[in-house]
Amino acid sequence: MHFLDTIPPVLLGVAIFGLRIVDVSIGTVRTLVMVQGQRRLAVFLAFFEVLVWIVAVSQVVSRLDSMPWLAPFYAGGFAAGVGVGMTIERRLALGRYVVRIITRFHGLEIAAALRGQGRVLGTFRGETNDGPANLIYVSARANRVAVIIELAREADPEMLFLVESAAGWSENALPIPHPTGWRAIFKKK
């Protein structure tokens, strides 16, 4: 990258900072799509993530003796890239979540309202410190979670809810026919 030899040192630091923001942001999104099982998109993003990273790291490493102050630009770009990547993820609303709703008296109304919106859900009987309750589990894309909570609040303003990631969830998921993960190696006969 000989054209980078001609730019002023401060602009080189800013360029490295910017490159790190780009590659770390891509890495954050790549990780999320990988967890969701979107293989092609993850591979595509990985290619560009590493391409940008190589350009940034090569500029820092090749000049570290003469310009040690490039290291803070590199590290600062990494830190800023984490924040930018998280913001991008929030805006893109990637991923699926499970919304768990706990209500004492309005389980049927909440379930009917959510089903009226086309939601597939599960209802269960449970118990709180104050007595019997209804538990409602709903799966939704990240950008629909707030709508689900608002619908439930309309029926029961005092309901409780918990939102958690449903990483690896798929609407058409079948049970895994064999053990997976590193422990599976020891379980095979």
Strands 96-103 and 131-141, how do they pair?
Answer: antiparallel
The model's confidence at residue 34, banded by pLDDT at 50, 70 and 90, is confident
**pTM across the whole model:** 0.63
Please say if the pLDDT value at position 45 is more than 80: yes
C-alpha distance across the termini of the chain, in Å: 53
Report the C-alpha gap between 68 and 148 in whole angstroms: 51
Which residues lie below 8 Å from residue 9, measured CB to CB, with a gap of 6+? 67
- Our count of domains for the chain comes to 2
| 102 membership: H or E segment, kind and range | strand 96-103
Is residue 172 domain-resident?
no
Task: Please check whether residues 83 and 100 belong to one and the same domain.
Answer: no
Is residue 187 domain-resident?
no
Task: Please check whether residues 127 and 153 belong to one and the same domain.
Answer: yes
Task: Please check whether residues 70 and 113 belong to one and the same domain.
Answer: no
Long-range residue pairs from 39-48, CB within 8 A, at least 24 positions apart, any chain: none
| 162 membership: H or E segment, kind and range | strand 160-165
Please say if the pLDDT value at position 184 is more than 70: no
Angle at 158 between CA 157 and CA 162, to 5 degrees: 100
